[in-house]
């Protein structure tokens, strides 16, 4: 049985994925999961509200910090 990266991440309860693959970015976004897309020439056409672009690891950290704040606000609103 072949498991896709998305299925493996869902099973592992991954909240945010970091990748450079445009197909993974689109799959995650369509599954309503955020993805930090590491900038590459081959993924420039990919766009979605849940795709955050990063050019370096500082960008990745900033996106992770921002997403963590969003997750915390959502959890607070649920309580």
In the predicted model, residues of the chain with pLDDT beneath 70 are 1-2, 78-79
- Number of domains, the chain: 1
What pLDDT sits at residue 1? 61
| Residue 56: DSSP 8-state | S
Positive/negative CA dihedral, 11, 65, 54, 29: positive
* Summary count for the chain: helices (H), strands (E): 3, 3
Burial class (CB in 10 A: 0-12, 13-18, 19+), 25: buried
Q: Which range of residues forms the domain containing residue 48?
A: 5-78
CB 32 within 8 A of CB 53: no
What pLDDT sits at residue 26? 93
Q: Quick one: which H or E segment has residue 62? A: helix 57-78
């Amino acid at each position: 049985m072949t498991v896709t990266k998305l299925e493996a991440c869902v099973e592992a309860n991954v909240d945010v994925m970091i990748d450079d693959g445009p197909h993974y970015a689109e799959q995650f976004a369509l599954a309503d999961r955020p993805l930090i897309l590491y900038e590459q020439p081959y993924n420039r056409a990919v766009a979605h509200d849940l795709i955050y672009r990063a050019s370096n690891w500082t960008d990745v950290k900033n996106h992770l910090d921002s997403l963590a704040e969003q997750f915390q606000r959502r959890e607070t609103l649920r309580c």
